[in-house]
């Protein structure tokens, strides 16, 4: 199992794309059209490490209005975490046995089988579980391919991004707040197989193969959900808001 990417919903991806590429040195990987939305992915890092951010725009909401409803209700912001699994049917069965209720289950497409857990079951964020027969299964592999061959799209719907910043910032972790650290760890470490790589008295950082990192912070009484994205980069510490998500960039 791998933590593949964090997805951010926005009505207009052009501004976030300018920041992710022009200011933070991200590399556009791919994108396209889907039912009710259009995605595109940017890798923040280089061939040695980093993570993917997916930008989602509502698209033809008359076919599926889930993203349109989300943006209307909440505005731009973090939408979901995607985990790629080797056997989605077995993962779904394990979740159901543990008392969870996956929704949106679709096992019909061999290129992309998926299921979802709602925020009330996934500690404040949508969790997408996906199985793919695509040959590139690691975000680092996707980065290396796009760096050599260029980004792909079917179709390329996003505007031409600016020139990449010379020194890329590295997305090191997604940070999730929770009122109950043990409950969140039961889910992300126990069921989704995250490995503890660091911890303190009220936080734990989990990692998955392929450099996906999730830090879970306990905040009594807090509304659970994605709090921020943490990056390493050049220059002084700074904060940005990109597609409604808080990005904290620390000196490397």
Q: Cβ-count burial of 100 within 10 angstroms (0-12 exposed, 13-18 middle, 19+ buried)?
A: middle
203-232: average pLDDT:
97
Assigned domain for 64 exists: yes
Q: What is the CATH number of the domain that holds 219?
A: 2.60.40.4320
Assigned domain for 163 exists: no
In the Cβ-directed half-sphere of 243, how many Cα atoms lie within 13 Å?
24
Identify the pLDDT of residue 133: 84
Domain of 22 in residue numbering reads as: 2-154
53-61: average pLDDT:
97
Determine what percent of the chain is predicted with pLDDT higher than 90. Answer: 92
Preceding amide of 155 cis, omega within 30: yes
Cut 0.85: pTM above it: yes
200 and 122 within one domain: no
Per-residue pLDDT tens over the stretch 93-111: 999 999 999 999 999 988 8
In the block, tokens 């061999």 appear at 110
With a cut of 80, say whether residue 134 has pLDDT above it: no
138 and 33 within one domain: yes
Assigned domain for 16 exists: yes
Identify the pLDDT of residue 155: 95
In the block, tokens 């592999």 appear at 141
Q: What is the CATH number of the domain that holds 26?
A: 3.10.180.10
Assigned domain for 28 exists: yes
Mean pLDDT lowest among 104-108, 137-141, 150-154, 186-190: 137-141
In terms of Cα–Cα distance, which of 7, 178, 3, 12 is closest to 79? 7
Mean confidence (pLDDT) of the chain: 96
- Token representation of residue 123: 């500690």
In this structure, the number of other CB atoms found within 10 A of the CB of residue 56 comes to 25
Tally of structural domains, the chain: 2
131 and 238 within one domain: no
> What confidence tier does 252 reach under pLDDT thresholds 50, 70, 90?
confident
Q: Residue 54 in contact with residue 80, Cβ under 8 Å? A: no
228-244: average pLDDT:
97
138 and 76 within one domain: yes
> What confidence tier does 136 reach under pLDDT thresholds 50, 70, 90?
low
């Amino acid at each position: 199992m791998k933590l593949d990417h964090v997805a951010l919903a926005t009505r207009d991806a052009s501004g976030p794309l300018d920041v992710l590429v022009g200011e933070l040195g991200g590399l556009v990987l791919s994108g396209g059209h889907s039912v009710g939305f259009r995605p595109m992915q940017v890798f923040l890092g280089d061939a040695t490490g980093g993570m993917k951010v997916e930008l989602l725009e509502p698209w033809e909401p008359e076919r599926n209005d889930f993203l349109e409803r989300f943006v209307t209700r909440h505005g731009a912001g973090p939408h979901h975490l995607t985990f790629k699994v080797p056997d989605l049917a077995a993962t779904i069965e394990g979740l159901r046995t543990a008392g969870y209720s996956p929704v949106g289950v679709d096992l019909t497409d061999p290129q992309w089988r998926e299921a979802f857990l709602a925020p009330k079951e996934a500690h404040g964020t949508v969790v997408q579980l996906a199985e793919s027969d695509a040959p590139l299964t690691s975000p680092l592999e996707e980065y290396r391919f796009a760096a050599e061959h260029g980004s792909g799209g079917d179709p390329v719907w996003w505007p031409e991004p600016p020139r990449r910043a010379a020194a890329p910032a590295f997305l090191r972790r997604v940070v999730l707040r929770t009122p109950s650290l043990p409950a969140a760890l039961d889910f992300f470490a126990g069921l989704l197989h995250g490995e503890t790589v660091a911890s303190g008295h009220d936080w734990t950082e989990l990692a998955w193969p392929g450099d996906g990192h999730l830090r879970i912070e306990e905040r009594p009484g807090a509304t659970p959900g994605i709090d921020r994205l943490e990056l390493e980069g050049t220059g002084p510490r700074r904060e940005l808001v990109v597609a409604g998500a808080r990005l904290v960039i620390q000196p490397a």
